[in-house]
Amino acid sequence: MDNITIARVLDETANLLEIDAADPFRIRSYRRAAEAVEQQTTQLATLIAEPKQLLAIAGIGKGMATNIVDIVSTGTMPLREELLTKYRPTMLELLRLPGMGPKTVALVWSALQVADIDALEEAAKAGHLNKLPRMGEKFTAKLLKGIEDYRKNSSRFRIDQAREHADRISMLIREFPGIEEITPAGSLRRGRESVGDLDLLVTGPACEPDVVTAAVEHVAALPLIDKLLAKGQNKVSFTLRNNLQVDVRLLPRASYGAALQYFTGSKMHNVALRQRAIKRGLTLNEYALLRVEDNTIVAAATEEAIYRALEMDYIPPELRENSGELEAAATHALPELITLTDIRGDLHMHTIETDGLNSIREMAEAAFARGLKYIAITDHSKNLAMTNGMDDRRALEHARRIREVDGEMEGRIRVLAGVEVDVLAEGELDLADETLAEMDIVVASVHSRFDQPVEQMTERILRAMESPHVRILGHPTGRKVLKRDPYAVQMNTILKRAAELGVAVEHNANPARADLSDLHLRMAKQHGCRIVVNTDAHSIAELDLMRFGITQLRRAWLTAADVLNTQPTAEALLAQLRPRR
């Protein structure tokens, strides 16, 4: 039971309390506790035997500490179960739809007794929602589109969610003696933005053919299994409560490399690789690379040995999509892909000045602890009212405080003053030129009016980039993975102009956004665009999302030289960005 899961249970309880019209103070206490838990670097499950350590966390009182102990012990807590009995578990699913916050869910429940998506869709189509306060035809149309998108994507899971499940399942499997290695395969290992199912490959002494049965039984009895689908000699398939299907294969060490290769590559990558094997008198399957004439094993234990036997360089998992990687590997032309250790700075993050959870100093200290050499604090401008965005006066005062913290860090890490300025409907920026001129970093982002026609949206962004103060284009597509489609924009035109102007384009490392996509990143490189990867962190914990951004850069074949925030110092980075005017 990790901190993210504990925080989710507390947050769900807060939502249920809001549906129940509970005391606002009580609701806030659960939300604060959820935020506090998520920010902890120590797993709270290890502290439940020492309640005093839980009580030492700001936002955790005696009652909340008891709740956390219950969650770790049982996966839930009495109040949550009581509220779920009263209001139906399906109400939590309603909260995932656009416009359906706790108060709206409570409204449709009290007025129409609607508690699930099917009933909500039926009520919307029948026009019943139009009669309720704050709802109308526009809301209903948006909701129906949201339901359609939710159903389309509900069988897929973001990369970070899939990784979280993979880590949790792996931890439980490792409790069985003789398990040495567990590797997620499939689209998760290739770093796809979302996955449809989860493949876990397991090896070690416990997986050898003569003893594997006991390990199979251990996996089949894992406590988080919702439904056991199949149990074979060395494979167990099951689903979790969220319907994610998991296939666990327990394999002898001698064939582990062949299985990794087989279950990682895309279908077309594997087809092309098998064809290459056939041309050399070999055959490749999930057990080994074999010589056809006598069925002897040529390679099986490692992926490196398999690619080497096929006269190729090792192909990193992120590239195995049959998009030119086999030809490059055969001619020793694969790039040296960027890694997390290449990153020296993060140029997009938020603090308590707007919608972040931590102070300037806290973000700076956390970034320093992660080995970064520089960061930019880029809180929101005033148009984004829901985030407590800054007007010109506040933005300048905030920049002054950022520079004070920069001085306090005494050279350990540079803290640059910046802002994420809204791009308004016609391409104007949300702060005065005089204010933007005072900033080290200006990130320009679209946060509203996503429904503009493609020509208008394209012109809007082009106009924003013409401002001499804009150094980075943020949220270039505005999408949210599995939740919101990209806005309509001529990306080729945007990237070409960004390259001409020297405006860097951002890949947002947060897996909920992941824009630019890997395909757009390749396009950006082809146009000669400057590229940055940023976390857009709203808390200390979110600084760790950088690893997901690196995965997408690797999928785009990018090297450290292609990404500006691999520059060793803030001065070197600023020299590479569009000059300030």
Asked whether residue 149 is assigned to any structural domain, the reply reads no
Residue at 373 is within a domain: yes
Query: Does residue 171 sit in the same domain as residue 262?
Result: no
Tell me how far apart the terminal alpha carbons of the chain are, to the nearest angstrom: 51
Closest CA to 64 of 55, 75, 52: 55
Check whether residue 402 and residue 457 sit in a common domain. yes
Q: What is the number of structural domains in the chain?
A: 4
- Cβ atoms of 553 and 563 within 8 Å: the answer is yes
**Is the domain of 450 the same as that of 324?**
no
Give me the residues paired with residue 418 across strands.
Answer: 378, 441
Whichever domain contains 510, its CATH number is 3.20.20.140
| Residue 76: predicted pLDDT | 86
Which of the listed residues 220, 251, 282 is the one where a domain comes to its end? Answer: 251
448 vs 241: which has the higher pLDDT:
448
Asked whether residue 386 is assigned to any structural domain, the reply reads yes
Angle at 392 between CA 390 and CA 398, to 5 degrees: 60
In a domain, 203, yes or no: yes
> Do 205 and 176 reside in the same domain of the chain?
yes
- Residue 23's region, left for phi above 0, alpha for psi from -120 to 50, else beta, is beta
- Give tens-digit pLDDT for 370-419: 999 999 999 999 998 778 999 999 999 999 999 999 999 999 999 999 99
pLDDT digits (tens, 9 = 90+) for 482-523: 878 889 999 999 999 999 999 999 999 999 999 999 999 999
pLDDT of residue 438: 97
Radius of gyration over every alpha carbon of the chain, rounded to an integer in angstroms: 26
Residue 155: the pLDDT is: 78
Task: Verify that 371 and 310 share a domain, yes or no.
Answer: no
Mean pLDDT of the chain: 93
Residue 57 has pLDDT above 80, yes or no: yes
- State whether 177 and 224 are in the same domain: yes
Using the structure block, give the residue that is written with the tokens 């993060």.
346
Q: What is the pLDDT of residues 265-289, one digit of tens each?
A: 999 999 999 999 999 999 999 999 9
pLDDT of residue 151: 78
Q: Do 385 and 505 belong together in one domain? A: yes
Per the domain annotation, does 411 fall within a domain? Answer: yes
The CATH number of residue 233's host domain is: 3.30.460.10
Q: Hey, which bits of 406-489 come out as E strands? A: 414-422, 441-445, 472-474
Q: Is the pLDDT of residue 532 over 70?
A: yes
Is 336 a residue whose pLDDT tops 90? yes
Give residue-wise pLDDT tens across range 468-482. 999 999 999 999 998
Structure tokens at 62: 């005696």
pLDDT at position 1 over 80: no
Number of other residues whose CB lies within 10 A of the CB of residue 532: 28
- Looking at the fold, whether 354 and 410 belong to one and the same domain comes out as yes
| Percentage with pLDDT > 90 across the chain | 76
* 568 and 420 in a common domain: yes
> Domain containing 229: what range?
157-251
Last residue of a domain, one of 251, 278, 311: 251
Q: Is the pLDDT of residue 254 over 70?
A: yes
Q: Are residues 319 and 438 in the same domain?
A: no
CATH number of domain containing 62: 1.10.150.110
SS3 257: helix
3-state secondary structure at position 231:
strand
Q: Are residues 478 and 367 in the same domain?
A: yes
- pLDDT for 261: 97
Please check whether residue 338 is in contact with residue 282, taking contact to mean a CB–CB distance below 8 angstroms: no
Does residue 136 sit within a domain?
no
Domain end point (choices 49, 67, 87) = 87
* Confidence at residue 64, expressed as pLDDT on a 0 to 100 scale: 92
CB contact set of 313 (below 8 Å; sequence gap of 6+): 307, 329, 332, 334
The answer to whether residue 133 is domain-embedded is no
> What does the pLDDT look like over 108-151, one tens digit per residue?
998 999 988 989 999 999 999 988 888 888 889 889 988 888 87
| Residues ≥6 apart with Cβ < 8 Å to 79 | 13, 17, 67
Supply the pLDDT for residue 265.
95
What's the whole-model pTM score? 0.81
* pLDDT confidence of residue 397: 98
Task: Tell whether 475 and 520 lie within a shared domain.
Answer: yes
Q: What is the 3-state secondary structure (H, E, C) of 159-214?
A: HHHHHHHHHHHHHHHCCCCCCCEEEECHHHHHCCCEECEEEEEEECHHHCCCCHHH
Residue 137 lies in a domain: no
Residue 554 has a pLDDT of 98
